[in-house]
């Protein structure tokens, strides 16, 4: 019997107080996510239970009990406190998926500071945009990533501390750098966890939009209520599970369901810090006897591409429940996983701004392959007519995915950007930016984005951000960036580039521009195809008609070209 | 050809994918499984090899396993160069 039991019964009888009671929280109490993830579990007598099995690509292993992560997070919190980090300050985590990333996240929350995880593959410009917007005070990083921080230091007067967790003395520390070794530091048995309340800010994740620079999504400690209960009911996490969330904590899935939810549930989770290979992943599931596996469509499609034969080499019988996140899960993947693993991947739908799963498929409920599922109990979702800004009264029509903005883990605002936050609402409905339709039974069916944002391998990339970066290349006069369909990643970035006089299109220039963007922004933002054009399609008022280029890439109707500058 | 090819690939990966004070690469350093080159960055590496050696590597052969070390990349490239 699944944790959720009957979805319909849960919907009828729902209250978020269910989660509050299980966590022993009463409105008005102190609530600190870091405490709930460690100290509370130890107080329940589970200090000796394994919290984290970690393995790196060299095969190095580390095992942490709940008491270990309590001590480690205390130690990091104490170190930060000693540096003068105060509640509300932003502390960035810029690391690979090493234990210090997970433990540091919890430690930062214990101080009352705001954790700001950033994907370790970000280039220096991506880093600068996010750190300067947040006026980040400290960055916890590794020596291999420190050079990217150093490159932008002169533009970050607010940054006081660069904390290197693996400094080995082979090169001297530089300006504002300080070494901290979790292994060498004396464990701190008791740390006075800062008494944060429900609305105290906890986490700042940056997300890309169509226009403008990435925005900081501000979350609060009360988000724990949603993250805990959705993990229990959607991911069906049980006390004796071995849980594997493949997401990097640089992204919201990796914090909400890679740190907060599993640790607050007191479950054992495992983390593999290695590049993708089907063999390595199946070997990991077999070795750790993973029971609950939360992954992403791009990874699932990569596993499909690796074939069915390799699956037979491993004993994956431990797998009990599988779920997916980041982009719509195509029905072929659902059917394939049923065939090779004996169970389907359950698609879950949510985003950085929602903080936790909002629409999903549930254990025990019919999975309609290709469907997003139904709203989580307690969440009111609909499809809005984009003209009238009201819910459709009949099913089957494509419109805007909209939610009543009242669940615990909803973002509270965009950092220093209330205006952008207010634009997310129509008639008091929160608009996710996705389009969908509802069938007669209340299942949502994804129908694309409502804007130009590119979703590549489950990560959002802003065309504006890539275009702005392209303009910084000496050869580029103007550019337009659109998504291009891709069988593995759903979409990838494609750039149309018009060159300045004196520059000639060539394979070498193509590669040079690709690498330029990859290093400046990230590998995700790197155009996987560049098409050199003499000019870009524009309206008579000079606005680039990106939608024409998009339509060509996707084989869609081009639509009205009456405003096109040159017919 | 073999050593020259390996050195070329090693130099390119070092220049494009490593920071200044990273551990030096060897011909056997795991590039993909070791997190030095991710699946997206692999696209630019594949493009470099195709441009440099005037070959075309089909997508189904450009796997993380085939790109996981300088030695493996060199073997892949030599195979396609020989087919020309």
* Least Cα separation, residue A208 to chain B (angstroms): 18
* Least Cα separation, residue A407 to chain B (angstroms): 35
- Rounded to an integer, the average pLDDT of A395-422 is 96
Give me the pLDDT at residue A190, please: 98
Rg (CA), chain B: 12
Give residue-wise pLDDT tens across range A375-385. Answer: 999 999 999 99
Give me the pLDDT at residue A393, please: 93
Look at A64-73, A292-301, A446-455 and tell me which has the smallest mean pLDDT.
A446-455
Partner residue facing B33 (CB), from A171, A280, A518? A280
Q: Is the confidence at residue B1, as pLDDT, over 60?
A: no
Q: Quick check: A320 and A291 in contact, CB under 8 A?
A: yes
Closest by CA to A267, choosing from A50, A44, A106, is: A50
pTM: 0.90
Q: Is the confidence at residue A93, as pLDDT, over 70?
A: yes
CB pair distance less than 8 Å for A528 and B51: no
How far is Cα A481 from Cα A465, in angstroms, rounded to an integer? 9
Per DSSP, the three-state class of A74 is: helix
Residues 74-103 of A with CB under 8 A from B: 96
* Least Cα separation, residue B20 to chain A (angstroms): 8
> What are the distances in angstroms from CA A486 to CA A5, A58, A136, A267, A483?
38, 31, 36, 36, 9
- Give B16's contacts in chain A (Cβ within 8 Å): 515, 519
Q: Is the confidence at residue A450, as pLDDT, over 90?
A: no
Residue ranges of domains in chain B: 2-18+25-83
The verdict on B4 touching A (C-beta cutoff 8 Å) is: no
Give residue-wise pLDDT tens across range A103-115. Answer: 999 999 999 999 9
Kindly list the strands in the beta sheet with A201-207, ordered across the sheet, starting from the edge strand earlier in the chain: A177-179, A161-164, A138-141, A90-94, A114-117, A201-207, A215-220, A413-414
- Rounded to an integer, the average pLDDT of A90-97 is 97
Give me the pLDDT at residue A467, please: 92
How far is Cα A219 from Cα A221, in angstroms, rounded to an integer? 7
- Rounded to an integer, the average pLDDT of A379-399 is 95
The verdict on A506 touching B (C-beta cutoff 8 Å) is: no
Of the residues A523, A524, A526, A527, the best mutation for testing chain B's interface (the one with the most B CB atoms within 10 Å of its CB) is A523
The verdict on A491 touching B (C-beta cutoff 8 Å) is: no
Q: Is the confidence at residue A275, as pLDDT, over 90?
A: no
- Rounded to an integer, the average pLDDT of A339-346 is 95
Q: Is the confidence at residue A215, as pLDDT, over 50?
A: yes
- Give B41's contacts in chain A (Cβ within 8 Å): 518, 523, 526
Which sign does the torsion angle of CA A183, A184, A190, A193 carry? negative
How far is Cα A550 from Cα A531, in angstroms, rounded to an integer? 13
Give me the pLDDT at residue A475, please: 96
Q: How high is the mean pLDDT of chain A?
A: 94
Give me the pLDDT at residue B84, please: 79
Q: Is the confidence at residue A9, as pLDDT, over 60?
A: yes
Instruction: Tell me what percent of the residues of chain A surpass a pLDDT of 90.
Output: 85
Give residue-wise pLDDT tens across range B56-65. Answer: 999 889 998 9
The verdict on A515 touching B (C-beta cutoff 8 Å) is: yes
Give residue-wise pLDDT tens across range A243-265. Answer: 999 999 999 999 999 999 999 99
Q: What structural domains and CATH numbers belong to chain A?
A: 25-339+416-424 (3.40.50.12780), 454-554 (3.30.300.30)
Of the residues B23, B41, B65, the best mutation for testing chain A's interface (the one with the most A CB atoms within 10 Å of its CB) is B41
Give me the pLDDT at residue A18, please: 98
The verdict on B61 touching A (C-beta cutoff 8 Å) is: no
Q: Is the confidence at residue A331, as pLDDT, over 90?
A: no
Partner residue facing B19 (CB), from A147, A275, A280? A147
Residues 125-144 of A with CB under 8 A from B: 143-144
Domain topology for B2-18+25-83: 1.10.1200
* Least Cα separation, residue A185 to chain B (angstroms): 25
Partner residue facing B47 (CB), from A273, A514, A524? A514
- Give A523's contacts in chain B (Cβ within 8 Å): 38, 40-41
Residue A213 binned pLDDT confidence (cut-offs 50, 70, 90):
confident
DSSP code per residue over A148-204 = HHHHTGGG-TT--EEEETT--SSS---TTEEE--TTTSPP-S--------TTSEEEE
Residue A566 binned pLDDT confidence (cut-offs 50, 70, 90):
low
CB pair distance less than 8 Å for B41 and A518: yes
Give residue-wise pLDDT tens across range A488-505. Answer: 898 999 999 999 999 999
The verdict on A178 touching B (C-beta cutoff 8 Å) is: no
Give me the pLDDT at residue A567, please: 45
- Rounded to an integer, the average pLDDT of A279-303 is 95
Residue of A nearest to B18 (CA): A144
Give me the pLDDT at residue B21, please: 66
Q: Is the confidence at residue A165, as pLDDT, over 50?
A: yes
The verdict on A457 touching B (C-beta cutoff 8 Å) is: yes
């Amino acid at each position: 019997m699944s944790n959720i039991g009957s979805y319909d019964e849960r919907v009828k009888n729902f209250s978020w107080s269910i989660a509050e009671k299980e966590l022993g929280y009463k409105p008005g109490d102190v609530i600190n996510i870091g405490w709930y993830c460690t100290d509370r579990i130890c107080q329940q007598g589970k200090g000796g239970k394994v919290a984290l099995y970690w393995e790196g690509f060299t095969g190095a292993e580390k095992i942490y009990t709940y008491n270990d992560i309590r001590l480690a997070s205390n130690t990091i919190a104490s170190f930060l406190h000693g540096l003068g980090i105060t509640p509300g300050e932003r502390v960035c985590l810029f690391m690979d998926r090493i234990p210090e990333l997970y433990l540091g996240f919890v430690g930062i929350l214990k101080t009352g500071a705001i954790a700001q995880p950033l994907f370790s593959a970000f280039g220096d410009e991506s880093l600068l945009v996010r750190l300067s917007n947040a006026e980040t005070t400290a960055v916890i990083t590794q020596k291999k990533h420190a050079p990217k921080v150093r490159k932008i230091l002169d533009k970050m007067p607010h940054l006081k501390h660069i904390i290197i967790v693996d400094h080995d003395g082979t090169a001297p520390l530089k300006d504002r750098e300080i070494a901290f070794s979790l292994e060498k530091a004396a464990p701190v048995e008791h740390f006075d966890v800062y008494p944060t309340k429900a609305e105290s800010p906890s986490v700042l994740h940056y997300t890309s939009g169509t226009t403008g620079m990435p925005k900081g999504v501000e979350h609060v400690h009360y988000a724990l209520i949603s993250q805990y209960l959705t993990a229990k009911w959607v991911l069906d996490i049980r006390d004796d599970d071995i849980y594997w969330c493949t997401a990097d904590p640089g992204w919201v899935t990796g914090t909400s369901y890679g740190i907060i939810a599993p640790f607050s549930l007191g479950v054992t989770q495992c983390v593999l810090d290695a590049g993708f290979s089907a063999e390595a992943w199946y070997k990991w599931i077999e070795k750790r006897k993973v029971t609950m596996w939360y992954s992403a469509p791009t990874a699932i499609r990569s596993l499909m591409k690796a074939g069915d034969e390799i699956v037979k080499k491993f004993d994956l019988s431990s797998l009990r429940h599988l779920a997916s996140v980041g982009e719509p899960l195509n029905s072929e993947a659902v059917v394939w996983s049923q065939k090779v693993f004996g169970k389907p991947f359950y698609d879950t739908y949510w985003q950085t701004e929602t903080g936790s799963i909002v629409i999903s498929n549930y254990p025990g409920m019919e999975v309609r392959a290709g469907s997003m599922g139904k709203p989580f109990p307690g969440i009111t979702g609909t499809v809005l007519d984009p003209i009238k800004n009201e819910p459709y009264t009949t099913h089957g029509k494509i419109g805007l995915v909209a939610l009543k903005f009242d669940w615990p883990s909803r973002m509270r605002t965009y950092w220093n950007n209330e205006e952008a936050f207010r634009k997310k609402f129509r008639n008091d409905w929160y608009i996710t930016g996705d389009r969908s339709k509802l069938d007669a039974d209340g299942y949502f069916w994804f129908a694309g984005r409502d804007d130009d944002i590119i979703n590549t391998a489950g990560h959002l990339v802003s065309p504006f951000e890539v275009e702005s970066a392209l303009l910084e290349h000496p050869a580029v006069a103007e550019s337009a960036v659109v998504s291009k369909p891709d069988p593995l990643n759903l979409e990838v970035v494609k750039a149309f580039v018009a060159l300045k006089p004196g520059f000639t299109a060539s394979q070498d220039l193509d590669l040079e521009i690709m690498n330029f963007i990859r290093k400046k922004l990230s590998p995700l933002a790197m155009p996987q195809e560049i098409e050199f054009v003499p000019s870009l399609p524009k309206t008579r008022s000079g606005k680039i008609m990106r939608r024409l280029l998009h339509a060509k890439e996707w084989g869609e109707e081009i639509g009205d070209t009456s405003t096109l500058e040159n017919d | 050809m073999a050593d020259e090819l390996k050195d070329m690939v090693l130099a390119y990966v070092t220049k494009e994918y490593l920071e200044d004070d990273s551990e030096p690469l060897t011909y056997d350093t795991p590039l993909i499984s070791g997190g030095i080159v991710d699946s997206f960055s692999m696209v630019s590496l594949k493009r470099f090899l195709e441009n440099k050696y005037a070959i075309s590597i089909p997508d189904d052969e450009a796997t993380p396993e085939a790109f996981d070390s300088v030695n493996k990349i060199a073997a892949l490239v030599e195979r396609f160069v020989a087919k020309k």
